[in-house]
Structure 1
Amino acid sequence: MRLLHTSDWHLGRAFHRVSMLDAQAAFVDHLEATVRAHAVDAVLVAGDVYDRAVPSLAAVELFDDALHRLAALGVPTVMISGNHDSARRLGVGAGLLGRAGIHLRTSPGGCATPVVLSDAHGRVAFYGLPYLEPSLVKDEFAVDRPSHEAVLGAAMKRVRADLAQRPPGTRSVVLAHAFVTGGQASDSERDITVGGVAAVPAGIFDGVDYVALGHLHGSQTLSERVRYAGSPLAYSFSEATHRKSMWLVDLAADGAIHAERIESPVPRPLARIRGHLDDLLADPALARHEPAWVEATLTDPVRPADPMARLTERFPGTLSLLFEPERPPGERDVSYARRLAGRDDQQIAEDFVAHVRGVGPDAEERIVLRDAFDSVRAHDAVREVVR
């Protein structure tokens, strides 16, 4: 059976305030074309369909379009909710959609109720484990401690129990939305840490033929049978080096796995550049980044004038501007408390200006700071008298 594993669509999400809806629509086009071109037998969507629990109307319309197109292909789709989704909202109409071949699994109680499909070699049971928030599902799974490992372990125990009762030779696929040990995170994923622990061991999924993971945005192979599809689009500059793709997985009669990556369309490349502003504007080696979306980190000792305006003249797609001014050796090793020791309010304020701008305030700015502090002190003195 040929599976197409994808996840983390995040419909409705923007990239540094730039709408991604057109790029997300292009991905839906690509998804449909891939299903047709590669004779896919089932599509797997491992959570975070939407970016918000209450998505925008435009995001809902795009999702509706995707569902209609997948249903029209006649290829079954198994989809779970992620930590960004509202499981209740995403699961509305699941029974009716199931009749059209769109199988939504958003309820923790349905973890051990698989979607069973067949091919020439027999049956394949697809178990959908939506994102399981430990504090909300601990009673459902009767765990002593509300942790990711405990609730996922309990869910997988139910999966194995159901699988053991099925006819011999039944192959199995699990969809899950979780942070599994060994996966590489980016800046785009929402923190799901509970009690200081977010990751669960990959061994928790032992006993099934393939595990289609969602949550982490980089396409990753944790083992031959445990993989992250990653997001089809980049949602932060930390994903600049990612190859956005889906997994095309062939599940053999004996449960053997063969997987290959299907590249996703890239609406615009990402680039992270760093250095003095004048160098960035003059370096011919950076010409390849001129059409890209750019994150620029300036290291000038003194913050240059109008840096964003000057950058966008050469790099019109500059969306993020950071400052990390070069400091004298050893300065960064001095703690904040030590820098403030023995300084009055005026000196602390002047130090802050120097830290942010790279150069301290001039004489007129010092007067402005002093007058501000004097005004605050006078106001506080009046309040004390009134009391």
Structure 2
Amino acid sequence: MSDTDLQARGTTLSGDTDAEEGAPPPVQTLPLDAWHRARGGRMVEFAGYHMPVQYEGIMAEHLWTRESAGLFDVSHMGQLTFTGENVVATLEALLPADIAGLPMNKARYSLLLTEQGGILDDLMLTRQDHARIYMVVNGATKYDDIAHMIEHLPDDVTLNLMEDHALLAVQGPEAVAALARVVPGVDALVFMQAAAFAWQGHDLWISRSGYTGEDGCEISVPAEAVEALADALLAQPEVKPIGLGARDSLRLEAGLPLYGHDLDEETTPVMADLGFALSKRRREAGDFPGAARIAAEREGGAVLKRVGLLVEGRQPVREGATVVDADGSTVGRVTSGGFAPSVGAPIAMAYVPAALAAPGTTIQLAQRGKVHQATVAAMPFVPHRYFRGVK
């Protein structure tokens, strides 16, 4: 697909449709839709797609992933490639990442920012060679992201949406060993490293990364081959299919923010505690969108800050609950919350005033007329278990 085609599609899918004005766009299906249903997946609408929320139960799927290996279908995500001799400089004008200093086949987390320093999306990018970048963006925002980036792309840089590819993730302490029996050699990768592999005549792009806090890999695979690959993975005794519900509880325990909930255009990287995504060279140059505001917040602090919360009792506090002061006035908001199976207690993420952000601080949360006590906790709630190489 050409960048001209993408511009037309991005504009259409961001607001204009051929349907009646005001009608929602049709819900799309994933390449594995029938596969999920045949295995008992309970389907829900998420990010414009029918997706499995669970198979045998969120708690069981969560704990299986922490103990063994879970297979996730994340094909709703946007897989993009950018090609052209000036691709690095072009993307550095949009993102705060040091792409020029990124080794080949290494991945990096970054942020698409507004001119005011707000977050349009968070994403992963990999430098495949000097003139080619592979990027994964969130499913709910991918067409808006594409439209935004196309506005800033010069004629000599081409953006391609990989609509003919699916994306799988296999996560957990046994995930890489199971995958290596299907695709030999993947166990040589370390965290945030990627490589191309051949499998049954198909080209795969595999990165050792994920969204659960566990070791594992994400696999870009041609859509025509994804069912065979999913079957091969599920044939491994360590692997079970896992739905959206457990994916959410796993990432919450891992302290990983979800765009549209914990991140949005009103949130800056400093507020979100994502300073690691602002590379030193780029901070010093101040040549990315929102750099002035972000520098000021790094120097003087942000008014609000994303924190983790341990909630007293057994009742979860959900997104939308408010952080209140002693007078009952709203001073912050909960952006994600639920029961954490591995922690054995309710946890949450919230934006609170900087004065309340230190671990150990006691705060009050209001939800449906009831006040809950919570304590600010360091994140992640469970340790990350990424494989960074043998020490």
Q: Give the TM-score of the pair, scaled to structure 1.
A: 0.20
By percentage of residues, which structure has more strand?
2
By percentage of residues, which structure has more helix?
1
Relative CO higher for 1 or 2, CA cutoff 8 Å, sep ≥ 6?
Answer: 2
